[in-house]
Amino acid sequence: MEHFRFRDLFYDLHNYEGDAAYRDILLPSQDQARDIVELLDHYGDIDAKELKLGIGRDEQLNHALLQALYDLYALSRVNDMMLMAFTEGSRGYSHWRGNQFSLDERSEYLTSLGLRLAEQAAFHPFYHEIVEVEQSVDSAEPITLVETIWPCFMLGQLMFSRAGVKVRGGSDYIDKEIAENSTMYWTYNRKNRRTDDLSMGWGSSSQWGTELRRDYVGDSAFYYNVDGKLDVHEPAPQPKNPKFQHEPLPLADRIELVTHRCYIKSEKPDVDILHHYTYDSIYLEKKL
């Protein structure tokens, strides 16, 4: 690849029809991929959460941050292709068979690029994406981690890919049907559920002008979706056109969406959620 881009790597994987995608597609471009991630390494520092896009800010810094988030998003699409090997179903945005990779191959590749494996013994939505639920007969049983299906990877203190997990919990905390099947936002593709991200609906070129969602973990707090525009505690503005005005989404539902990236308990139909309730929300969760 003369001018290496993660978007090209994504298409190479999508169009591949062999049985050794790790060897044939990922390994030949590994050095070039590592060089790009090394240039992005400082965006994994916790202080980088203060770097924000916006009118009136330094144009050069704006461009550098925007390009970094585009590159990381494109790499996340490559990661989504690998994750298709570890779930079943046909509900995803793309039906590529995705059975090319082993867990070891995925871990070796992401580690080689400079991402770090992050293991957490206790369930937390910052680190864990719910794939499967074991519903407890005790409605008051909190959510606990049962099994890790694929591991979590981070760029420094920036979340890159949450671990896919099986959990157990009571109905006061989680509903099996909802948590396993509600739309997963900020996500391009999963075999097992509907997904939605800001690339969808755009053309083959424009879709790559999508930014990676940035979540950071610090010593005292988790910082969710730092590039959002609206604190989750503030009411979302109503559209000027009365035809599109809506009932405010309860705070608990908004927090559920921005932390889990999907509903796990709310019975509201997620297909009716307006984007400003998801993609615009910012949330700071203090550590206990």
75-122 pLDDT, tens digit per residue, is 999 999 999 989 888 766 565 665 689 999 999 999 999 999 999 999
Is 253:263 a contact under the CB 8 Å cutoff?
Answer: yes
pLDDT in tens, 230-253: 999 987 777 677 766 667 788 898
| 110: DSSP letter | H
191 alpha-carbon distance from chain centroid: 15
Per-residue model confidence (pLDDT) at position 1: 43
- Widest CA span of the chain, in angstroms? 58
Q: Cα separation of 202 and 286, whole Å? A: 36
DSSP-assigned beta bridge partners for residue 133 = 167
Mean predicted lDDT score pLDDT of the chain: 90
Buried b (16+ CB within 10 A) or exposed e, 78-105: bbbbbbbbbbeeeebbeebebebbeeeb
Look at the block and give the residue holding tokens 């936002």. 185
pLDDT in tens, 164-177: 999 999 999 999 99
Per-residue model confidence (pLDDT) at position 63: 85
